[in-house]
Amino acid sequence: MQRSIVSFQLIKPKTFLQRCMSTQWNPKKRLSRAAMSELRNLNAMSPEQYSIPALSEKFHISQEAVRRILKSKFRPTHQVAQRQEENRYRAMGERQKAFRTPGTKKK
């Protein structure tokens, strides 16, 4: 019986990060535009008090999500923001209809 010799290579940090970041970003929780602007404002007012870990706990999102929000420079135009809000409310209404069962009445 022969044993094969396995050589272990050290993974360079850059290669490791590239491999981890090659997958698409898909956060578990998404914030509204209003919450994102509040997060940015808090950090701008007092970066020492509202650090990334503190904002992460306050908004119940990951530290990576906070970093990405603070780094992002994207601000939608008024028309785009209004269209996104309308789509969001429409989607909420459809989800609520899906959860309602026929024959039940609200009191």
- Separation of alpha carbons 55 and 42, rounded Å: 8
Judge whether residue 2 has pLDDT over 60.
no
Q: Which tokens hold the place of 57?
A: 């706990």
pLDDT for residue 83: 93
d(CA 40, CA 66): 9
Upper half-sphere CA count for residue 1 (Cβ side, 13 Å) = 0
The whole-angstrom separation of Cα 59 and Cα 67 is 13
pLDDT in tens, 20-77: 665 677 777 888 888 999 999 999 999 999 999 999 999 999 999 999 999 998 888 9
The answer for 6, left when phi > 0, alpha when psi is -120 to 50, beta otherwise, is beta
